[in-house]
């Protein structure tokens, strides 16, 4: 396994998830729904997260399979829905994803990144 490249993808994913959590910290759902700038940076970070997840699945499937708790396909699917249906983005779904899935994902990615980089 090319650990350094895997580590790069994991870092990109962790950074994107961390960024999103920071962007919405302290915001209510109503504030998020009224703040186009925050919506844009959150959506772009989700695209980055999904792109890195897609590359991991395509290029390092054995690593992705080793961590079944990571929602690889969901991340890729959300990225694809955003990228190909931009004007139909459901901000309620984005908000729920950010609030419920990303903090857990961030913790998971941090642990995996440590494990993978220690193995190099």
119: which DSSP letter? Answer: T
Phi, psi of 8 (to 5 degrees): -60, -50
Choose, from 12, 14, 76, 79, the residue flagged as catalytic: 79
Distance CA 89, CA 92 (A): 9
Q: How many CB atoms lie within 10 A of CB 89?
A: 15
- Burial class for 7, CB neighbours closer than 10 Å (0-12, 13-18, 19+): middle
Respond yes or no: is residue 79 known to be catalytic: yes
Respond yes or no: is residue 84 known to be catalytic: yes
Q: Which residues are catalytic?
A: 79, 84
């Amino acid at each position: 396994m090319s650990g350094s490249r895997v580590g790069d993808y994991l870092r990109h994913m962790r950074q994107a998830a961390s960024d999103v959590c920071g962007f919405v910290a302290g915001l209510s759902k109503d504030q998020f729904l009224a703040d186009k700038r925050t919506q844009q940076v959150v959506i772009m970070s989700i695209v980055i997260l999904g792109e890195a997840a897609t590359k991991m699945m395509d290029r390092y499937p054995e690593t992705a399979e080793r961590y079944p708790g990571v929602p690889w396909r969901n991340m890729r699917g959300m990225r694809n829905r955003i990228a190909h249906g931009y004007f139909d983005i459901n901000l309620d779904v984005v908000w729920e994803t950010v609030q419920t899935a990303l903090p857990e994902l961030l913790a998971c990615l941090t642990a995996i990144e440590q494990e993978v980089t220690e193995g190099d």
